[in-house]
Amino acid sequence: MTEPASHDALSGVAALLRVRPELEDFCRFSSHWATSHEAEPPGWAYFHIVTKGSCLLERRDGPRLRLDAGDLLLLPHGDAHILRSRDARGGSYGPPVTVAYNNAIRIKANTDQPATELICGRLRFEAAPDNLVIAALPDTIVLKLGGKGVLQQMRSLVLAIRDELDGDRQGAAAIAADLARALLVMMLRLHFEEAAAADGLMRLLASRPTARPVQAMLRDPARDWTLDELANEAHVSRATLVRAFRQAVGMAPLAFLAELRLSLARRKLARTGAKLAQVASEVGYRSESAFARAFVRRFGITPGEARNIDQAPS
């Protein structure tokens, strides 16, 4: 069997993620300024696009990052953070920030002649909080939209978004949101392509023979998948599928499925108060005892111990 040429691994991943951007602010600042953002609930990400000037990103855990014009920042887990001017220290800030609306666009500004312009918004991952693809994303993703090729295409999208937000035209918010959706999917595509060399799940999702079976597992981890069914998802033979999985992650498809189920179970235990029997059933185990034995073999601790450890405040 051969796979249809029309298959696109990233399109399948994008369908799993189901990203929905919300443009919140068009910021125009000068002098000393700072704007803070509280932590978002699971499934929400922050994004910022610097269209002019530069600024600093500060997070509680992580290094300070400088962002310049043309940089696109994504905080996939919605972490609390502060954006500030590069010289804003000790609470010394410039003119007060005013808020105005241009059609449906909220404009935050402290000047008529901005040194820095930002497009700020949130991104909804509609499959969260249990999506392991989202869990595999790093705390910060930064793209510098210079150079040629796809980065230049993305920069053109940024400029188009900025022009819509800056203009006084009907429908600007809807048009800008659609452009942002395309921009952020392109950003995730670049990240997946770069991360595929290092991360096992990303390698599988970026590879044509393995992408569809993994997407099927992620959609329905509790299903009693057979090797034949997974090979049919991939439109390849069973031998080809096994070989592709072993090359990518060093294990057979059904072994990877077991690993995926236990990883998902651990996330559920950390994020919900669901009973062990419910978690076991949701990830494909027919009994709580079988689930507990597999969990201990994999992690060296019981599900209850894992819940206490993972839910403990850092």
> What CATH number does the domain located at 202-311 have?
1.10.10.60
Q: Apex CA 267: angle with CA 261 and CA 129, to 5°?
A: 105
Other C-beta atoms within 10 Å of 144: how many? 14
- Residue 37, token pair as written in the block: 């953002």
Contact between 12 and 116 (Cβ < 8 Å) = no
pLDDT tens for 238-286 read: 999 999 999 988 999 999 999 989 988 888 887 778 899 999 999 999 9
- Residue 202, token pair as written in the block: 């990303």
Binned at pLDDT 50, 70 and 90, residue 195 comes out as low
Contact between 29 and 116 (Cβ < 8 Å) = yes
Residues contacting 191, CB < 8 A, separation 6+: 137, 141
In the predicted structure, residue 53 carries a pLDDT above the cut 50: yes
Other C-beta atoms within 10 Å of 272: how many? 15
Mean pLDDT for 22-48 is 90
Question: How high is the pLDDT of residue 91?
Answer: 53
- Residue 313, token pair as written in the block: 């405040």
For 59, phi then psi, to 5°, come to -125, 155
- Looking at the domain covering 9-195, what would its CATH class be? mainly beta
- Residue 127, token pair as written in the block: 């499959």
Mean pLDDT for 278-301 is 93
Question: Phi-psi region for residue 251, left (φ > 0), alpha (ψ -120 to 50) or beta?
Answer: beta
For 34, phi then psi, to 5°, come to -155, 145
Helices (H) and strands (E) in the chain, counts: 12, 11
Question: How high is the pLDDT of residue 1?
Answer: 43
Contact between 19 and 137 (Cβ < 8 Å) = no
Which residue is it, tokens 């700072």? 34
- Lowest average pLDDT, out of 32-41, 59-68, 143-152, 296-305, goes to 143-152
d(CA 182, CA 178): 7
Pairing status of strand 19-29 against strand 116-125: antiparallel
Domain ranges, ordered by start, for the chain:
9-195, 202-311
Contact between 46 and 77 (Cβ < 8 Å) = no
In the predicted structure, residue 2 carries a pLDDT above the cut 60: no
Contact between 248 and 211 (Cβ < 8 Å) = no
Type of residue found at 272:
T
Mean pLDDT for 34-46 is 89
